[in-house]
Amino acid sequence: MQAKQTEIEILRDALEAFEKTTKLTAQLEHVEPTFGHVAPTLTAPRRADAVIRIVWQDMEWHYAAEVRHTLTPGNLGAVVHQLRNFPEKGLIVTTYVTPPMADRLREMQIPFIDTAGNAYLDEPPLMIFIKGNKPAVPYPTERPARLFQPTGLQLAFALLCNRGLENTPFRDIAKVANVALGTVGWVMRDLKQMGYLIDMGKRGRRLIRKRDLLTRWVTAYPDKLRPKLLIGRYRAPHYDWWKDARLDDFKAHWGGEVAAALLTQHLRPQSVTIYTNEPMSKFLLIHGLKKDPKGDIELLKTFWNPEHDPKYGDWWRHGDFVHPLLIYADLLATGDQRNMETAEMIYERELPRFIRED
């Protein structure tokens, strides 16, 4: 089954289930022409997959639908960020929303429907909240593209962060992305097949649709790559310990909320993320950090090559914290409202120069 068929089926099945459980009318008013299709020339911000019209008595509402096969705590932040970029009110359409996720979406006031008949809409005087329905049968899935598997995500990250890297020898790309040389070939083929890379022959290669690739990357990163990076979780004796910590002595970098606070001066961190490939036992001892599986400090492995050639971009211009794209992804992965607001600031201030098409 092709991905485009699966997504469209999810949309239609969810509308049918919504009508069956609520007795309301739900119509597919418009489907974006690029929905489920490769659009090599698309450079504008991605539009909603479809527009849905819901009718009750003499009232109607129009929603911009964002269709996702799965909805997880890890990708929720990226999905919500996408909804907020639509001019119309956004609606999540997916295969199944678990009861805890349904409660969370209701708290965030994010409308949703799924193929099991679960739904949340709050349009006074209409209020619908249905949870607990389970799919009759498991929904068919397809093997995800290798581009959005761990090593593919590493390479895509390197391409997004380093303008023009796609037009260099594969050996150079492998070094910057910190992946095997053989990985580069199949990821570049995936990028071409999915409409993110143009091979212009003697004129070289060019990465396109970067905005959409970025959206796909931050959605996949929390579930596919980030869990594999975890070294351990820890807890500190006091809240502000990180303000006196020096990471450059350990070739480490701030990520997540601390990095966002340093970059924007807007956020008061509630958790600490550090990326490193160096032994950190001395660092842990100096700051009195104790191992705690529920701790608010996480150590993650650095997945890029910290020794990359600076000719590919000003990667380190921000000093002792990670690339803004990764800070943005870390914030969205929390699904926290305050973090998503800061992520929006970083997206608007820092990321346009990496995803512009020229």
Domains of the chain: which residue ranges?
A: 3-130, 146-223, 226-355
Asked if the domains at 146-223 and 226-355 fall in one CATH topology, the answer is no
What topology does CATH give the domain 226-355?
A: Beta Polymerase; domain 2 (3.30.460)
Q: Nearest 5°: phi and psi at 2?
A: -75, 150
How many Å separate Cα 103 from the centre of its chain? 21
Residues 65, 334, 81: CA angle, nearest 5 degrees: 30
The pLDDT value recorded for residue 335 is: 83
pLDDT (mean) for 9-33:
88
Please state, rounded to an integer, the average pLDDT across all residues of the chain: 86
State how far the alpha carbon of 197 is from the alpha carbons of 41, 99, 117, in Å.
Answer: 10, 40, 39
- CATH top-level class of 146-223: mainly alpha
Is the model's pLDDT at 173 over the cut of 70? yes
pTM of the predicted structure, to 2 decimals = 0.78
The pLDDT value recorded for residue 84 is: 81
First to last CA, the chain: 35
Q: Which residues contact 334 (CB under 8 A, 6 or more apart)?
A: 77, 256, 257, 271
Q: How many CB atoms lie within 10 A of CB 232?
A: 15
Tens digit of pLDDT for each residue in 35-55? 554 333 333 445 778 889 999
Residue among 78, 160, 204 nearest 325 (CA): 160
Tens digit of pLDDT for each residue in 52-91? 999 999 999 999 999 988 888 888 888 888 888 788 899 9
